[in-house]
Amino acid sequence: MKKRMNIRMSGLGGQGAVTAAHIMAMAANKEGKYSISNPFFGAEKRMAPAESYVRIGPERIYDRGELVFPDVIMVFHPQVITMQKSYTAPFYSGIKEKGLIIINTSADLLHEEDYERLGKLGVSVYNFDAISMALEIGGTELSTNMAMIGAVAGITKVVSLDALDKALQERFGKRYVASGGTATLDEAIKKKYAKKEMLLKKNMDTILKSYEIAGAWAAEHKQELEAVAV
């Protein structure tokens, strides 16, 4: 990859945006790229705004903290837009020219005014129903973050499927240290799948499916997406 990619993930507490950022960063790390991921959240709990950030690049990354000027924004939940559960308003403020927005939604949530402003910046928007995909393939809403990962990787190719697989193994395959709430959610998801292997497989399947569909979309929009392709 030639340049740094800065990704902002805006979601709601409990959706796995923090985990998604960690997995993306781990995957990048596994294929020899530099990466940093960090979360940002308040004292609130589930369904409250929670953001995480991942920076991936060809050289050592120092920049940290909240990503104010991202290349890619991933919206994990429609409420980020509809209820303004976002650290910025509108949720896309700060996005760089020719950036990319990925939204988990079953309906188009943007207004004409939004499209106008994003259009001026040359920003592409990819709407897709990550929750349905998670339910269908992963068998649980908790895999929504996997669908989101698949989408961003499928469009930008910032990390490979192989690297994502390795990152998943590390994240769910062994005991993992996480803050209180995340640890509890991990346990919940492990209970859903009888076996750990099953969990890994379902997650990877979700990523694969999403990667495939998003990849096809990206092929159609190759020109516009130049700035966020690796």
* Residues contributing to the site for other proteins (CB under 8 A): 22, 25-26, 29, 34-40, 42-43, 62-69, 87-90, 93-94, 117, 177-180
How far apart are alpha carbons 143 and 149 in whole angstroms? 10
Based on CB atoms, which residue is closest to other proteins, 98 or 192? 98
> Would you say 106 or 184 has its CB closer to other proteins?
184
Nearest to 193 by CA among 211, 168, 210: 168
Residue 37 or 145 with smaller CB distance to other proteins: 37
User: In the bound complex, what is the minimum distance in angstroms from residue 129's beta carbon to other proteins?
Assistant: 27
Instruction: Compute φ and ψ for 195, nearest 5 degrees.
Output: -125, 155
Burial of residue 43 (number of CB atoms within 10 Å: 0-12, 13-18, 19+): exposed
Residue nearer to other proteins on the CB measure, 125 or 214: 125
Q: Which CB sits closer to other proteins, 73 or 134?
A: 73
Least distance between other proteins and beta carbon 90 (Å):
7
Position 205: which residue type?
Answer: D
Nearer to other proteins, 91 or 193 (CB): 91
Q: What are phi and psi of 80, to 5 degrees?
A: -55, -35
CB of 139 to other proteins, least distance (A): 28
Distance CA 180, CA 171 (A): 16
Least distance to other proteins, CB of residue 171, Å: 11
- Minimum CB–partner distance for residue 178 and other proteins (Å): 8
Strand partners, 52: 9, 39
H or E stretch at 12: strand 5-12
Beta-ladder partners of 50? 11, 41
Least distance in Å: CB of 44 to other proteins? 10
Nearest to 95 by CA among 74, 65, 64: 74
In the chain the first and final C-alpha atoms are separated, in Å, by 5
